[in-house]
């Protein structure tokens, strides 16, 4: 998805090709960002609120449209909302059953999402099934409220990050 133009020193200004000090322009491409928030019974209200607050930092850096979905055993598509500004983040608990990460990959597969067009961010405690059918989708960022070793997926695709070392998070949930 194109989002304006940006300067590039690797592509010269076509109007003045002999002036190599002038930057050219290239299209600024942005991918779709889908955020999936674990609303299972093992996730507390404070954990979910803090994970959603982390999206504010992402929006401060990255000017994009973010679609936010709640999931537990299914992805709740009917409760999807779109964030385009930092003040649009809201929290409404939907579901509350078990956790199925497979439902996220099934949803992405139904939407024909691929690694070039979509980044999936999964905000979770990491407790779910151990094997996944990812349909060759690997552009995933797992953000865990627990230690990386507690992610139940044996071979997670993408990058796994944790909030265990975050002092603010630890004070909020009362672990320090």
Average pLDDT estimate for 36-61: 82
- What are the start and end residues of each CATH 3.40.50.410 domain in the chain? 31-173
Q: Is 159 helix (H, G, I), strand (E, B) or coil?
A: strand
CB atoms within 10 A of CB 27: 11
Q: How confident is the model at residue 175 (pLDDT cuts 50, 70, 90)?
A: low
Quick one: pLDDT at residue 108? 97
> What tens digit of pLDDT does each residue of 94-138 get?
777 789 999 999 999 999 999 888 999 999 999 999 999 999 999
Alpha-carbon dihedral of residues 115, 47, 92, 141, nearest 10 degrees? 0
Handedness of CA 65, 100, 78, 87 (dihedral sign): negative
SS (H, E, C) 50-102: HHHHHHHHHHHHCCCCEEEEEECCCEEEEEEEEECCHHHCCCCCCCCCCCCCH
CB atoms within 10 A of CB 43: 21
- Helix %, strand %, coil % for the chain, to 5? 20, 30, 45
Quick one: pLDDT at residue 98? 87
How much of the chain exceeds pLDDT 70, in percent?
A: 91
Right CATH for 31-173 from 1.10.1530.10, 3.30.43.10, 3.40.50.410, 3.40.50.720? 3.40.50.410
């Amino acid at each position: 998805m194109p989002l304006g133009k940006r300067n590039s020193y690797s592509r010269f200004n076509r109007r003045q090709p002999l002036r190599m000090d002038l930057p050219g322009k290239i299209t600024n491409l942005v991918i779709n960002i889908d955020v999936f928030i674990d609303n299972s019974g093992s996730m507390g209200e404070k954990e979910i609120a803090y994970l959603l607050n982390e999206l504010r930092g992402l929006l401060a850096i990255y000017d994009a449209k973010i679609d936010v979905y709640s999931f537990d055993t299914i992805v709740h598509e009917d409760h999807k909302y779109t964030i385009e500004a930092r003040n649009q983040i809201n929290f409404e608990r939907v579901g509350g059953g078990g956790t199925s990460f497979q439902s996220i990959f099934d949803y992405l597969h139904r939407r024909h999402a691929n690694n070039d067009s979509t980044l999936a961010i999964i905000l979770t405690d990491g407790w779910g099934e151990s094997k996944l059918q990812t349909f060759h989708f690997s552009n995933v960022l797992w953000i865990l409220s627990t230690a990386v070793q507690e992610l139940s997926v044996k071979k997670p695709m993408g990058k796994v990050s944790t909030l265990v070392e975050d002092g603010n998070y630890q004070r909020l949930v009362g672990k320090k």
